[in-house]
Amino acid sequence: MISWIFVRSESVTSFQIFMCSLCIVGFLLSSGLLAYHMINVLNGQVVYERSYNIDTYNLGLKENIALVFGTKWKIAWLCPLISSPIPSDGLEFVTKAQYESLKTM
């Protein structure tokens, strides 16, 4: 990058260095976002709930993944074209208290 700023290298090499640096920065930012949102999925939270430490909808690891990726979550994450229906209607979700009462029945 320093040689590109001070024009000490060829223009093609400078362009390649710039594009490589841009790809690395993009990869790091995308990886950070993926990690942040996977933590939200595993905890059964959205960004608002995570910022205010609300865990009303945390049903456990397996159930949280099934709520996001559907009932066939083990293969549905491989390809978005695989049909995997979600267990809720998308408007109302089971809370932790309701889930615990359903488990004891």
pTM of the model: 0.73
Tell whether the model's pLDDT for residue 91 goes beyond 90. Answer: no
> Which residues, including other chains, have CB under 8 Å from residue 73's CB and lie 6 or more apart?
65, 66, 84
**Stretch (H or E) spanning 34:** helix 11-43
Closest CA to 41 of 63, 76, 72, 65: 65
Tell whether the model's pLDDT for residue 60 goes beyond 80. Answer: yes
Task: Check if the beta carbon of residue 86 is closer than 8 Å to that of residue 67.
Answer: yes
Count the neighbouring beta carbons within 10 Å of the beta carbon of residue 66: 19
List, for residues 32-45, the tens digit of each pLDDT value. Answer: 999 999 999 999 99
Count the neighbouring beta carbons within 10 Å of the beta carbon of residue 65: 19
